[in-house]
Amino acid sequence: KAGVTQTPRYLIKTRGQQVTLSCSPISGHRSVSWYQQTPGQGLQFLFEYFSETQRNKGNFPGRFSGRQFSNSRSEMNVSTLELGDSALYLCASSLEGGELFFGEGSRLTVL
Amino acid sequence: GESVGLHLPTLSVQEGDNSIINCAYSNSASDYFIWYKQESGKGPQFIIDIRSNMDKRQGQRVTVLLNKTVKHLSLQIAATQPGDSAVYFCAEINTGGFKTIFGAGTRLFVKA
Residues A58, B95: C-beta atoms closer than 8 Å: no
pLDDT at A41 over 80: no
Min CA distance, A100 vs chain B (Å)? 7
Among A9-18, A35-44, B93-102, the range with the most confident prediction by mean pLDDT is: A9-18
Amino acid identity for residue A16 in this structure = G
- What pLDDT is stored for residue A54 in this prediction? 95
Minimum mean pLDDT among A39-48, A67-76, A98-107, B102-111: which range?
A: A39-48
Residues B43, A31: C-beta atoms closer than 8 Å: no
Residues A42, B42: C-beta atoms closer than 8 Å: no
pLDDT at B1 over 80: no
Nearest by CB to B43, from A48, A58, A103: name it. Answer: A103
- What pLDDT is stored for residue B2 in this prediction? 41
If you measure CA to CA, which chain A residue comes closest to B39?
A104
- What pLDDT is stored for residue B99 in this prediction? 82
Query: Using 50, 70 and 90 to split pLDDT, how confident is the model at B37?
Result: very high
The span from the CA of A69 to the CA of A71, in Å, is 5
Q: Which residue has the higher pLDDT, A60 or B103?
A: A60
Min CA distance, A7 vs chain B (Å)? 14
Q: Under a CB-based contact definition with an 8 Å cutoff, are residues A97 and A44 in contact? A: no
Kindly list the residues from chain A whose CB atom is less than 8 angstroms away from the CB atom of residue B25: none
Amino acid identity for residue A39 in this structure = P
- What pLDDT is stored for residue A98 in this prediction? 82
pLDDT at B7 over 70: no
Residues A42, B41: C-beta atoms closer than 8 Å: no
Mean pLDDT (chain B, rounded):
89
pLDDT at B8 over 70: no
pLDDT at A24 over 90: yes
Sheet holding B62-67, edge to edge: B5-6, B19-24, B72-77, B62-67, B56-58
The span from the CA of B106 to the CA of B54, in Å, is 24
pLDDT at B95 over 90: no
> Quick one: average pLDDT of B81-95?
92
Q: Under a CB-based contact definition with an 8 Å cutoff, are residues B88 and B96 in contact? A: no
Contact residues, A window 1-20, toward B, CB-based 8 Å cutoff:
4
Min CA distance, A86 vs chain B (Å)? 16
Does residue A33 belong to the interface with chain B, where contact is any CB pair within 8 Å?
yes
pLDDT at A29 over 70: yes
By percentage, how much of chain A surpasses pLDDT 70? 96
Best to test chain B binding among A7, A23, A99 (most B CBs inside 10 Å): A99
Kindly list the residues from chain B whose CB atom is less than 8 angstroms away from the CB atom of residue A48: 98-99
